[in-house]
């Protein structure tokens, strides 16, 4: 039976509104439940088909909680500041305020058409002055606490557009909009010291219920690493020795003896030049070129290492060795001290650099516990008995008279002695785990080591010949070895390993476990323990129009002064043009009568800050405003905050796990420290949903023309069908392709529900009752675990069952409608009413199930013989083994397979299988 979904949906949406069933109460004896979705950015394109996935999921949760007796807050609002709207304004000349209002109206209509149970009376908009008044107020709190500060920061500058670009607007070093080249420029920016909270943001992850992958991403983003700072004294040409030094940060102080050179970042070199270092022309050219490049550009260069020798020398404090200091852009200015000690034998990047510039490599750690195999070539002077005498076993002897031997742990020294005494000059090698140690006996009798891994082995001759400038002949693998022997020049290890092990080539530390050396070596050289974070302070300035004005005034005598609280909000003035100015400043800078003001402290002429805030600002605290959205004396009343916070369940996209989630946690912690909010962590639970892809499995995009329009879907198939499909299409956390046919299937299901309502009987089959209780159970559990797809599936199984079993009692049908209501609220209310239900389903309690009824009376279990399925039999779920076994033996197919066999053992799992072992 088809139904007119458009009328039905409109009718119930109006009823809900009239009844106000979704309004959260600020004072209630019910337990509270605060359920939050990420508020959307109201773009000109309208609602994306992906938005409702998250909203429907938490709508189901919110609706279920209400029926379970909770006072639920499920709010909605608009994160409306941002670049797309501003760019649209620049293009069309229309005020962004106006464009935003239009977009919000569209979004609102679209969301309402889907029947979400949002509390629309608490709608907020970040661009509303009564909202951003408080964003500004909070910024001033940061300012007053000394956490907001001004710093010179590099920005990406597009040479043709003459504007500053956000990092994500720079693609391959080029401007995203015009394709022109970009460079780095320096500009004073407002910063917020989020790094002061790094430790707490990390530690407090322990106290919240986030998906583990979300926690991991937050941890990685914060990027805490413990290490040591070590001083190296410098010898600068033309300056007295011992006057200068450089500090490096390292997490591997245990490898200090292997530090064969230092590398400083271009930024560090620039600093030195500024304080009077006379760098060579080559160094100056390199440094200025590196500094111009954007960071993204620097990373995109396929890791080809570049760099220049500075001519400066440093003293390795471990062994007093004199080592060169290089400048290279693979060392970042903004992390650690901007200078590193390079240990090429145990760091991939340092190794690549050393190889590119022929710098020495010294292995200082060997693998501790791997077995040792050795291949002995040209062992003319050695007999098998010599090996046996020292406990070395011969695994293989080749036709050429070479040996492959196995050396027990602890016998390496004896083996080495035997080699040096008895063997003719030549080489042998040891396999230690996946690396090979080559040992060379020179003509003068001394032994050298060479370390390689398996892959390198295959190319050893080629690489080594190239390195030693020897001719390479692939047909003669001995070429390199012979050449090297003849010239006595080789020593270069060709492998880098970063695994733990035991120290070597490290003076008094030889033989020490490297973990132990991590504290022992710094102790000797005076290293200082230090914790570093990848997290940087938050760049809070944007040279843009469409953002919250930063409420500060610059006065010649008083410096930066906060706009007094009673003058907030600093309202974004209407300007004529929205383009950034030629100097890269916000269009606000061109408004002389807005910019020029007087100092709130001394009254002398002063200028307003023309930078605006990033769009992360308004979204960092919106969950607090929902609690008391119309308050004009505070961002929210303390007692309301105390009642509602923290958010009980927050769902959003993985793309916001690092920035938005971290910023808002930080923002809330700061407000907590200032005594403005009652909890330190804003979100008790955080989950995330998967992307909805186009039918072809690729991302939906306007340019590909594969975007699904939610309006059309709702119009044609109904909001309930769309809601069900968004939940049914696949596991909630996974990306899933959209399928129109799948949506049609949901529509069919809804019509089957209507049909089931036509089959009301006085006495239903016990199977229907059982299915109903199973369905209540499964849906209840699945919603909590976010397994919405299987919850919907179970409801389908139920409806199929009703049809097959010939009908349903009206009381059962009513119970089913209550279960269906959170998923398909319009149709379930309509059916409920048409069968005489007076109340809104939303006001009825969530149904309970009886586990005894849900339990099946008869289960069919598998009969296996030696683990192979031979039959299935129907038995009671708790039937004793003897009974089941007897029953199983009566099966003809079982008898057939048992013929001539005796049962040795039986494994019986009640309700599942019985396995006869013969």
Q: Contact region for RNA (CB under 7 A) — 363-371, 622-630, 769-777, 788-796? A: 788-796
Residue 869 beta carbon to RNA: minimum distance, rounded to whole angstroms: 5
User: In angstroms, rounded to a whole number, what is the distance separating the alpha carbons of residues 752 and 800?
Assistant: 8
915 touches RNA (CB under 7 A): yes
Q: Would the CA dihedral through 748, 751, 753, 759 be positive or negative?
A: negative
Contact present, 664 and 623 (Cβ < 8 Å): yes
Contact present, 548 and 613 (Cβ < 8 Å): yes
For 8, the enclosing helix (H) or strand (E) is: helix 5-19
Q: Output 447 or 873, the one with its CB closest to RNA.
A: 873
Residue 200 beta carbon to RNA: minimum distance, rounded to whole angstroms: 19
User: In angstroms, rounded to a whole number, what is the distance separating the alpha carbons of residues 291 and 80?
Assistant: 35
Q: Contact region for RNA (CB under 7 A) — 10-18, 139-147, 315-323, 329-337? A: 329-337
Window 268-307: residues binding RNA (CB under 7 A): 295, 298-299, 301, 303, 305
Window 662-691: residues binding RNA (CB under 7 A): none
Residue 162 beta carbon to RNA: minimum distance, rounded to whole angstroms: 26
User: In angstroms, rounded to a whole number, what is the distance separating the alpha carbons of residues 623 and 621?
Assistant: 5
User: In angstroms, rounded to a whole number, what is the distance separating the alpha carbons of residues 649 and 784?
Assistant: 11
Q: Output 249 or 623, the one with its CB closest to RNA.
A: 249
Q: Contact region for RNA (CB under 7 A) — 51-59, 75-83, 131-139, 740-748? A: 740-748
CA distances from 572 to 127, 577, 595 (A): 9, 13, 11
Determine which residue in the list 780, 790, 810, 855 makes contact with RNA, applying CB under 7 A: 790
Q: Output 311 or 653, the one with its CB closest to RNA.
A: 653
Window 853-882: residues binding RNA (CB under 7 A): 859-862, 864, 866-869, 872
x/- track of binding to RNA for residues 753-782 (CB under 7 A): --x---------------------------
CA count, 13 A, side-chain hemisphere, 6: 5
251 touches RNA (CB under 7 A): yes
State whether residue 404 is helix, strand or coil: strand
Determine which residue in the list 21, 694, 708, 744 makes contact with RNA, applying CB under 7 A: 744
Joined tokens for residue 909: 């799992």
Provide the 10 A C-beta neighbour count for residue 58.
23
Provide the 10 A C-beta neighbour count for residue 512.
17
Window 214-233: residues binding RNA (CB under 7 A): 216-217, 220, 223, 225, 227
252 touches RNA (CB under 7 A): yes
Window 880-909: residues binding RNA (CB under 7 A): 893, 905, 907, 909
Provide the 10 A C-beta neighbour count for residue 804.
11
Q: Output 360 or 573, the one with its CB closest to RNA.
A: 360
Q: Contact region for RNA (CB under 7 A) — 371-379, 467-475, 628-636, 792-800? A: 792-800
For 462, the enclosing helix (H) or strand (E) is: helix 460-467
For residue 744, the Cα-to-chain-centroid distance in whole angstroms is 35
Contact present, 667 and 538 (Cβ < 8 Å): no
736 touches RNA (CB under 7 A): yes
384 touches RNA (CB under 7 A): no
Determine which residue in the list 428, 749, 813, 846 makes contact with RNA, applying CB under 7 A: 749
735 touches RNA (CB under 7 A): yes
Window 54-83: residues binding RNA (CB under 7 A): none
Window 528-587: residues binding RNA (CB under 7 A): 532, 534
- Is the bond preceding 569 in cis, omega lying within 30 degrees of 0? yes
Determine which residue in the list 50, 115, 154, 338 makes contact with RNA, applying CB under 7 A: 338
249 touches RNA (CB under 7 A): yes
As a 3-state breakdown, the chain gives helix, strand, coil percent values, each rounded to 5, of: 40, 20, 40
Q: Output 424 or 797, the one with its CB closest to RNA.
A: 797
Q: Contact region for RNA (CB under 7 A) — 92-100, 184-192, 486-494, 729-737? A: 729-737
Contact present, 395 and 443 (Cβ < 8 Å): no
Joined tokens for residue 574: 């209407």
800 touches RNA (CB under 7 A): yes
Window 85-104: residues binding RNA (CB under 7 A): none
Q: Output 87 or 790, the one with its CB closest to RNA.
A: 790
User: In angstroms, rounded to a whole number, what is the distance separating the alpha carbons of residues 16 and 112?
Assistant: 11
Q: Contact region for RNA (CB under 7 A) — 97-105, 396-404, 417-425, 793-801? A: 793-801
Residue 460 beta carbon to RNA: minimum distance, rounded to whole angstroms: 21
x/- track of binding to RNA for residues 149-168 (CB under 7 A): --------------------
For 450, the enclosing helix (H) or strand (E) is: strand 447-453
Q: Which of 267, 261, 265, 222 shows the shortest CA–CA distance to 347? A: 261
Q: At what angle do helices 51-67 and 766-784 cross, to 10 degrees?
A: 120
265 touches RNA (CB under 7 A): yes
741 touches RNA (CB under 7 A): yes
User: In angstroms, rounded to a whole number, what is the distance separating the alpha carbons of residues 587 and 543?
Assistant: 8
Q: Contact region for RNA (CB under 7 A) — 173-181, 410-418, 797-805, 879-887? A: 797-805
User: In angstroms, rounded to a whole number, what is the distance separating the alpha carbons of residues 769 and 802?
Assistant: 9
Residues near 542 by Cβ (< 8 Å), separated by ≥ 6?
Answer: 586, 611, 612, 613, 614
Residue 866 beta carbon to RNA: minimum distance, rounded to whole angstroms: 5
Q: Contact region for RNA (CB under 7 A) — 380-388, 444-452, 732-740, 832-840? A: 732-740
Determine which residue in the list 97, 658, 780, 855 makes contact with RNA, applying CB under 7 A: 658
Contact present, 825 and 63 (Cβ < 8 Å): yes
CA distances from 899 to 579, 887, 893, 896, 913 (A): 89, 17, 10, 5, 21
């Amino acid at each position: 039976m088809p139904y007119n979904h458009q009328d039905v949906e409109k009718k119930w949406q109006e009823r809900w509104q009239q009844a106000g069933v979704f309004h959260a109460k600020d004072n209630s004896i019910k337990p509270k439940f605060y359920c939050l979705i990420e508020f959307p950015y109201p773009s000109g394109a309208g609602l994306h088909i992906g938005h409702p996935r998250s909203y429907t999921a938490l709508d189901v949760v919110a609706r279920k909680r209400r029926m379970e007796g909770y006072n639920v807050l499920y709010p909605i609002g608009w994160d409306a500041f941002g670049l797309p709207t501003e760019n649209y304004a620049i293009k069309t000349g229309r005020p962004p305020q106006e464009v935003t209002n239009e977009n919000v109206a569209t979004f609102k209509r679209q969301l309402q058409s889907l029947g979400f149970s949002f509390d629309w009376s608490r709608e907020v908009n970040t661009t509303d002055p009564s909202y951003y008044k408080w964003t500004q107020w909070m910024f001033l709190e940061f300012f007053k606490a000394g956490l907001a500060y001004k710093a010179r920061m590099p920005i990406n500058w597009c040479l043709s557009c003459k504007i500053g670009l956000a990092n994500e607007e720079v693609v391959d070093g080029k401007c995203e909009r015009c394709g022109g080249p970009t460079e780095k420029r320096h500009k004073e920016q407002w910063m917020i010291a989020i790094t002061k909270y790094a430790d707490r943001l990390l530690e407090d992850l322990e106290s919240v219920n986030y998906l583990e992958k979300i926690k991991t991403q937050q941890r990685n983003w914060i990027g805490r690493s413990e290490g040591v700072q070590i001083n190296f004294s410098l010898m600068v040409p033309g300056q007295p020795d011992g006057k200068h030094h450089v500090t490096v940060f390292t997490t591997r102080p245990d490898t200090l003896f292997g530090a064969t050179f230092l590398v400083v970042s271009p930024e560090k070199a620039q600093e030195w030049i500024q304080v009077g270092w006379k760098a060579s022309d080559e160094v100056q050219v390199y440094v200025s070129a590196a500094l111009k490049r954007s960071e993204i550009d620097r990373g995109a260069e396929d890791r080809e290492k570049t760099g220049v020798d500075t001519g400066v020398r440093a003293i390795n404090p471990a062994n007093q060795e004199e080592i060169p200091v290089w400048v290279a852009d693979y060392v970042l200015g903004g992390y650690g001290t901007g200078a590193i000690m390079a240990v090429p034998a145990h760091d991939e990047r340092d190794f690549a650099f050393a190889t590119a510039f022929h710098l020495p490599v010294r292995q200082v750690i060997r693998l501790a516990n791997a077995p040792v195999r050795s291949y002995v070539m040209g062992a003319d002077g050695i007999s098998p008995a010599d090996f046996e005498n020292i406990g070395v076993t011969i695994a293989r002897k080749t036709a050429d008279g070479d040996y492959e031997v196995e050396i027990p742990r602890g016998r390496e020294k004896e083996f080495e002695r035997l080699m040096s005494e008895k063997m003719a000059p030549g080489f042998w090698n040891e396999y230690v785990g996946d690396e090979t140690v080559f040992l060379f006996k020179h003509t003068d009798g001394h032994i050298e080591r060479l370390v390689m891994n398996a892959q390198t082995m295959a190319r050893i001759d080629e690489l080594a010949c190239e390195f030693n400038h020897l001719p390479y002949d692939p047909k003669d693998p001995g070429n390199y070895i012979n050449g090297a022997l003849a010239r006595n020049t080789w020593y270069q290890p060709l492998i880098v390993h970063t695994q733990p092990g035991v120290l070597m080539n490290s003076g008094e530390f030889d033989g020490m476990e490297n973990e132990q050396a991590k504290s022992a070596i710094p102790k000797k050289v005076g290293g200082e323990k230090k914790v570093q974070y990848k997290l940087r302070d938050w760049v809070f300035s944007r040279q843009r129009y469409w953002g919250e004005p930063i409420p500060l005034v610059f006065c010649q005598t008083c410096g930066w002064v906060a706009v007094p609280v009673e003058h907030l909000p600093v309202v974004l003035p209407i300007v004529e043009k929205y383009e950034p100015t030629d100097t890269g400043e916000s269009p606000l800078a061109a408004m002389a009568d807005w910019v020029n003001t007087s100092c709130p402290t001394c009254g002398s002429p002063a200028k307003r800050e023309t930078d605006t805030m990033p769009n992360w600002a308004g979204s960092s605290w919106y969950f607090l405003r929902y609690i008391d959205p119309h308050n004009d004396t505070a961002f929210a009343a303390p007692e309301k905050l105390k009642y509602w916070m923290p958010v009980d369940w927050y769902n959003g996209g993985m793309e916001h796990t690092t920035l938005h989630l971290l910023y808002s946690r930080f923002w809330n912690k700061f407000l907590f420290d200032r005594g403005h909010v009652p909890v330190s962590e804003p979100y008790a639970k955080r989950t995330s949903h998967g992307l909805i892809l186009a039918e072809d499995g690729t991302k939906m995009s306007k340019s590909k023309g594969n975007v699904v329009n939610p309006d059309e879907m709702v119009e044609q198939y109904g909001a309930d069908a769309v809601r069900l499909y968004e939940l049914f299409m696949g596991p909630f956390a996974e990306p899933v392709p959209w399928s129109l046919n799948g949506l049609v299937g949901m529509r069919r299901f809804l019509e089957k529900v209507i049909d089931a309502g036509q089959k009301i009987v006085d006495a239903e089959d016990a199977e229907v009752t059982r299915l109903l209780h199973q369905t209540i159970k499964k849906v209840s559990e699945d919603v909590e675990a976010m397994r919405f797809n299987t919850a919907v599936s179970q409801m389908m199984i139920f409806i199929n069952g009703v049809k097959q079993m010939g009908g349903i009692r009206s009381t059962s049908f009513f119970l089913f409608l209550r279960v269906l209501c959170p998923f398909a609220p319009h149709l379930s209310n309509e059916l409920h009413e048409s069968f005489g239900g007076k109340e809104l389903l939303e006001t009825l309690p969530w149904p309970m199930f009886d586990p005894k009824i849900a339990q099946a009376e008869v289960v069919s279990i598998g009969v296996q013989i030696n683990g192979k399925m031979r039959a299935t039999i129907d038995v009671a779920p708790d039937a004793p083994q003897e009974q089941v076994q007897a029953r199983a033996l009566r099966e003809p197919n079982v008898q057939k397979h048992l013929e001539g066999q005796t049962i040795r053992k039986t494994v019986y799992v009640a309700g599942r299988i019985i396995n006869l072992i013969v």
